[in-house]
Structure 1
Amino acid sequence: MVTVDSAALGQVLDSVDLRVGIARRVALAAGGVLPLPSGAATLVYIADGSVSGHPPLTTGCRLDVDRTAQIVAVDDRPLSANLVRGDAFLTLGRAPIALEAGSATDLVVVDLEFSDSASMLAAVLPDPITVMSFDALEPAAAALAGSMGPTDPPSYPVRQGDPVICRIMAQTVLLSVIRAWAANGCAPAGWPSVSKDPFLDRVVEAIHEQPGREWTVERLASVGAMSRSVFAERFRSAIGRSPADYVTEVRIDAAKRMLSAGRSVSETSRELGYASDEGFSRAFRRRTGMTPSAWRASELTAVPA
């Protein structure tokens, strides 16, 4: 069994950030099909019934769970062709998948949109991730997943802040799916490696730990034990953007979390290393199309779709 260092797994989970996490309930009659298109990340929890995949969901890691003894073991046999009540399924949208119900089935489907910096993490996760017996591995998260999605008709009125709460709920279930997959021996050897380069991983980790530090290319190169020119080239090749652009992405994602938690624009600006509120506002607007104050207001007053 491949084991994942708990500190490394914690850092991975901490780096996952969603822009959007909207849950919906989907009821399928026997033989009904739910298409999941490419280009969209989707989390599915089987609340009742069973589904099979087209193409078949037979690749990945099978876990045998002894619910009584709470013992989990990795099984070398192929995955069952069907996912049943209590299983979870995550696709990052690299290829289209269709789920077909084997009987009357109730699904919780969560449409996900990752933040800019978290999208790189999604690129190193396998697709799809299947977690059988998710309800036994992560009972609290499974109970949360089972309660997500609006009822028809809605059982309660829309309230201020609902989009924020929905996103937090979706992120909690998503993190639990990744943890169940990784912590129980399904992760491949060497995972997690964001860049597949241990020296660059050290740099990425430092940026996430201290987004407000004055990160020059020279300072980042020293963290990665490289010369400035070698570092800049390797970073852009592995990460797909310049070091400065990546630092800005991480800062703006951190700013969104701070603003949604009630921090002021000035406090957020200072903590993230900006010389002035005006400079922070310009950087935030370039990335989001909104000022920090307007973004915060929209997050708290938007109505979920």
Structure 2
Amino acid sequence: MTVDADALSQVLSAVDLRIGTARRERLSAGGLLPLARAGATLIYVAEGSLGTHQRLGLACRLKSDGAAFEPTGADAVRLSAGDAFLSFGRSEVALEAVDAAKVVIVDLELSDAAVRLTHDIPSTLAVYDFDAADPAAAALAAHMGIDDPAICQKRTGDLLVCRMMATTVLLAVIRAWAMSDHAAAWPSRQGDPFLDRVIAAIHDEPGREWTVARLASVGAMSRSTFAERFRSAIGRSPAEYVTEVRIDAAKRMLHAGRSVSATSRDLGYGSDEGFRRAFRRRTGMSPSAWRTTSDDLMPERRDEQVPVGLPV
């Protein structure tokens, strides 16, 4: 496959994080590592191996010569030392230690622009032999985080440096996937400035009353042309996409402590019940139940987490 290097570089350069926090954790055989449906999570396996019970959307395997990738399909994932795993938080995932393992866990909060740019990437990625694909990024990942957050001493500028480290590793994982055959349609979808303008408007104001006519106006198109062009490029209708963006925003707001009523109001729903129905259709549970699950999996608020540890 031939990758448009200029397009890929342009997209990767626009991916940014608001927050990137990390920790190192040891798991005994059979130990579970649940990943919440709130923000993205990057895992690097330093020692041992982990796997998943459920079948996931996509995995990439690096060939032994480090030159190309071959797909593993939608099978359950088995990760070993040197492998990387990325979840964008669109679904609940749990990893289980096959044997004793040491992992680096990086909790990521993507900027709104990064969310838009990565929307067409599968919800989970496994890059096997990541340490062979990008030794520098793998070495950086292996030294991120701390073993005991209680003894971490923050220094001036640490948060900025740590966010840059997390961004570097994240981009290396995305680039590894982008070079695989699975990514043939990415980032070509980002090349339509009119649709980009519409998508940016939706993400900037998810609570606005977005009709097809209003969205078409933003994109400087007729309603019929816009609807056809949008579905062809994005793979779903404008209304479905608006709902998707709203529910993703609702997840972040609920996890941050907003009430169901306040979230419903801010996202443009006419009633709390209408919001609950939309949320349940997309996630399979009520907003309050999802928030409880999210808090159980990730009890600390992101602004209270310890920043990524500097290399040791």
TM-score (normalised: structure 2): 0.61
Q: 1:148 to 1:18 in 2, by over 3 A?
A: same
**Is 1:192 equivalent to 2:187 in the alignment?**
yes
Q: Indicate the residue corresponding to 2:46 in structure 1.
A: 47
Instruction: Give yes or no for the alignment of 1:304 onto 2:300.
Output: no
- Once the two structures are TM-superposed, the CA of residue 144 in structure 1 deviates from its matched residue by 0.1
State how 1:1-305 maps to structure 2 within 5 Å.
2-57=1-56, 59-66=57-64, 69-75=65-71, 81-152=77-148, 157-187=153-183, 189-194=184-189, 198=192, 200=194, 226-227=220-221, 237=238, 240=242, 304=306
Change (3 A) 1:191 1:40: same
Supply the distance in 1 between the matched residues of 2:125 and 2:195 (Cα, whole angstroms): 23
Question: Residue 91 of structure 1 contacts residue 129 of structure 1 at CA under 8 Å; is this kept in 2?
Answer: yes
Q: Within 2, Cα distance between the matches of 1:26 and 1:121?
A: 30
Distance 2:180 2:21 in 1: 27
Conservation of the 8 A alpha-carbon contact between 1:124 and 1:193: no
Structure 2 counterpart of 1:65, one-letter code: K
Deviation at 1:177, TM superposition (A): 0.3
Shift, 1:147, TM fit: 0.2
The 1:228–1:145 alpha-carbon spacing in structure 2 relative to 1, beyond 3 Å, is: same
Asked if structure 2 preserves the Cα contact closer than 8 Å seen for 1:202 and 1:223, the reply is no
Residues 46, 81 of structure 2: 8 Å contact kept: yes
The SS at the match of 1:178 is: helix
**Alignment check: 8 A CA contact 1:121 1:194 kept:** no
The separation in 2 between residues aligned to 1:165 and 1:51, in whole angstroms, is: 29
- SS state of the match for residue 107, structure 2? strand
Stretch moving more, 75-84 or 159-168: 75-84
The separation in 2 between residues aligned to 1:114 and 1:105, in whole angstroms, is 27
Take 2:222 and 2:61, find their aligned partners in 1: how far apart are those partners?
45
Deviations 1:188-230 (A, max 9, x none): x3212456x83535758999xxxxxxxxxxxxx9997x45888
Give, in whole Å, the separation in 1 of the partners of 2:73 and 2:125.
16
Give the direction of change, closer, same or farther, for the CA distance of 1:45–1:237 in structure 2 (3 Å limit). same
Deviation at 1:158, TM superposition (A): 2.4
Using a 3 Å threshold, how does the CA distance of structure 1 residues 155 and 38 change in structure 2: closer, same or farther? closer
Q: Which amino acid aligns with 1:62?
A: C
Whether the 8 Å CA contact 1:73–1:184 is kept in 2: the answer is yes
CA positional deviation for 1:154: 7.9
Mapped contact 1:36–1:98 kept (Cα < 8 A): yes
Q: Cα gap change, 1:227/1:303 in structure 2, threshold over 3 Å: closer, same or farther?
A: closer
Native 8 Å contact 1:158 1:303 kept in 2: no
Q: Is the 8 Å Cα contact of residues 86 and 142 (structure 1) preserved in structure 2?
A: yes
- Name the SS of the counterpart of 2:86 in structure 1: strand
RMSD of the TM alignment (CA)?
3.6
The answer to whether the 8 Å contact 2:55/2:74 transfers is no
Q: Is the 8 A contact 2:85 2:127 kept in 1?
A: yes
In the alignment, what sits opposite 1:289?
none
Structure-2 separation of matches of 1:46 and 1:180: 16
What is the identity, as a one-letter code, of the residue corresponding to 1:103? Answer: D
Go from structure 1 to structure 2 and tell me whether the alpha carbon gap of 1:153 and 1:304 turns closer, same or farther (over 3 Å shift). closer
Distance 1:180 1:26 in 2: 25
TM-score (structure 1 length as normaliser): 0.63
Counterpart of 1:90 in structure 2: which amino acid?
A: L
